[in-house]
Amino acid sequence: MKQTRQIHGAAQPLSRKIITLSLLALGSVAVAQTTTIEFWHTFGDAKRSDWIAARADEYTKAHPGVQVKAVFRGDSNETLQSTILAARQNKAPALVQVDGVASQLALDSGVFQPVSSIKNVDFSDYLKPVVSYYTVGGQVNSVPFNSSSPVLYFNKDLMVKAGLNPKNPPTTFSGVLKACAQFDAAKLGIKCVALTPYSWLFEQWMSEQNVALLNSGNGRQGRPTDNNINSAAGRKIYQFYKDLQDRGELTNTGKLADTVGTNAIFGSGKALMTINSTAGLGNLLDAAKQSGFQMGVGVLPIPDGVKRNGVTIGGASLWVAKGVSKPEAETALDFALYLTNTANMASWHKLTGYYPVRTSSVNLLRKQGWFSSSPLQIVAFNQLLNTVPNVANAGPLSGATIQTRTIIEQGIQKVLSGQSVASALSSASDQVNAALADYNKNFK
């Protein structure tokens, strides 16, 4: 028997070996051809994280040999720091959502590569104010994703009870104060404005006054060394907080930048108005329905006596890591472009309230009748589309932006605790300059 098997060829065991080795080789090729990328994002809530996961699954199914894993990695700071640490260990994710405020940090970290270095990307369909925000040194380094700006949210039912016209919400600081005076006179036992010390709003109000927060072209023409916090423009903003506080018309949680807290106060019907990001529109609408009141949306109220210069973009963009293979980088960029395509951005906007970052998405929404059925959204859109990009509304850029924001917010908190506006502004300005100098030392 053994001889017979050998006669049928002594090469038969060799053939089996060849076949086995061939299959193993094919398997190795298949593995090599499978490109797996991780996308680290900052959305921990089910609504937004599920949407992202669904898009990752769609992309994976449509691209054989590719797998996209969407992973929630914490808030913006945690995600960026985790990415930098992972990169040092040669384990960086291919695609990362980075907050706009951390753009300079992302550039300086050396962890990311400009998307234009991977392939030529046509950004002509992306909204100009959005692209302007993410353009540094004439180069777009990342793909805009979740973008927003601030608006006024108000309780229509409470306005009617106080004799205010919900069709004519306040558009200026003095308008807000006047509305609050009338609201207080109605003695409804509810605070007028839920507003947290929030530097992002400070930046918006500087932008609307056409005053750059930082020198060197708001940090976009070189590393900034000075600021305009202690200016007439900055004084109007701190004074607005003080006026609301002194009149007993302000409410918040006592925490800095606690927009979740002020949203909760407003959403539960415990404040007439709040000023916050369009990103919260969907959740605030849900909260208003649960609390049984109708919500309205108005343009961002601005300091008196100035012509609107436009809002500054908030939100984040998608960055491709430098330490990944070329196939991974190309796949990461392709997925980023898929995530922000026309249909997906329209869907994202409907779900969250974030701006769709493409002109074609805006046109699609109009064609679908979205703005007719959801008129609250058009207020924010017009506010953005009326913004003509310039130095002030491009937004501040520096490696010390996170510290700068905290310093500005601490200054507002000091004013709310009784310190003079002049003293708080002077101190904040000095501290920010010190933070800028400290950061810039690393790049001399």
Q: What is the DSSP string of 270-314?
A: -EEEEEEEGGGHHHHHHHHHHHT--EEEEPPPB-TT-----PPPE
Would you state the pLDDT for residue 3?
40
To 5 degrees, how large is the angle CA 334–CA 335–CA 340? 100
Would you state the pLDDT for residue 432?
99
Would you state the pLDDT for residue 2?
40
Domains of the chain: 34-147+313-385 (3.40.190.10), 150-310+398-443 (3.40.190.10)
Would you state the pLDDT for residue 444?
77
Would you state the pLDDT for residue 205?
99
Would you state the pLDDT for residue 384?
86
Global pTM value:
0.89
Average pLDDT, rounded, for the chain? 92
In angstroms, the Cα distances linking 425 to 1, 89, 176 are 98, 42, 23
In angstroms, the Cα distances linking 418 to 241, 352, 408 are 11, 37, 16
* Residue numbers in the chain where pLDDT is lower than 70: 1-33
Pull the structure tokens for residue 3.
């001889």
Would you state the pLDDT for residue 29?
42
Would you state the pLDDT for residue 22?
40
Task: Give the model confidence (pLDDT) of 318-341 as tens digits.
Answer: 999 998 999 999 999 999 999 999
Would you state the pLDDT for residue 19?
36
Count of other CB atoms within 10 angstroms of residue 348: 23
**Cβ-based burial of 405 (10 A; exposed 0-12, middle 13-18, buried ≥19):** buried
